[in-house]
Amino acid sequence: MPYEKVGKNEPVCIADEVPFEIPDSWEWVRLGSVLNVKGGKRLPKEHNLIDTPTNHIYIRVTDMKNHTISSEKLKYITEDTFQLIKNYIINKDDLYLTIAGTIGNVGMVPDKFDGMNLTENAVKLTDIKINKYYLLHIICSNYIQNQFVDKTNKVAQPKLAIERILTTLFPLPPLSEQQRIVDKLKELEPYINDYDKAYEKIEKLNTDFPDLLKKSILQEAVQGKLVPQDPTDEPASVLIEQIRKEKEQLIKDKKIKKDKNESYIFRRDNSHYEKIGKEERCIDDEIPFDIPDSWEWVRLGSICNYGSCINIESIDISDETWVLDLEDIEKDTGKLLTKKSKKDVKSLSTKHKFIKGQVLYSKLRPYLNKVIVADEDGCCTSEILPITFYGSILPKYAQLFLMSPYFVSYANQCSYGVKMPRLGTDDGKNAYFALPPINEQHRIIQKVKELLPKIKTLK
**For the chain, percent of residues with pLDDT exceeding 70:** 99
Residue 183 pLDDT > 90: yes
Q: Which helix (H) or strand (E) holds 431?
A: none
> Residues 442, 394: contact at Cβ < 8 Å?
yes
> Measured between alpha carbons, how far is residue 407 from residues 320, 330, 400, 403, 423 in Å?
34, 18, 10, 7, 11
Confidence of residue 39 (pLDDT cuts 50, 70, 90): very high
Predicted confidence band of residue 380 (pLDDT cuts 50, 70, 90): very high
> How many angstroms separate the CA atoms of 186 and 198, rounded?
19
Name, in order, each residue with C-beta under 8 angstroms of 190's C-beta and a sequence gap of 6 or more.
Answer: none
User: Of 151 and 392, which is predicted with more confidence?
Assistant: 392
Q: Is the dihedral of CA 57, 58, 59, 61 positive or negative?
A: negative
* Cβ neighbours of residue 15 closer than 8 Å, sequence gap 6 or more: 1, 2
Q: Summarize pLDDT for 51-73 with one digit per residue, the tens.
A: 999 999 999 999 999 999 999 99
What does the chain come to in residues? Answer: 459
* CATH 3.40.50.300 is right for the domain spanning 236-456: no
Q: Parse the chain into domains and list their residue ranges.
A: 23-173, 236-456
CB 368 within 8 A of CB 409: no
Identify the pLDDT of residue 433.
97
- What CATH architecture is 23-173? Alpha-Beta Complex (3.90)
Decide if pLDDT at 155 tops 70: no
Residue 163 CB: number of other CB atoms within 10 A? 10
Q: Per-residue pLDDT tens for 266-322?
A: 999 889 999 998 899 999 999 999 999 999 999 999 999 999 999 999 888 898 999
Query: Comparing C-alpha atoms, which of 113, 106, 61, 64 is closest to residue 90?
Result: 113
Torsion, Cα 248 250 251 254, to 10 degrees, reads: 160
Largest CA distance in the chain: 107
How do residues 227-251 score in pLDDT, each as one tens digit?
Answer: 999 999 999 999 999 999 999 999 9
Distance (Å, whole) CA 452 – CA 454? 5
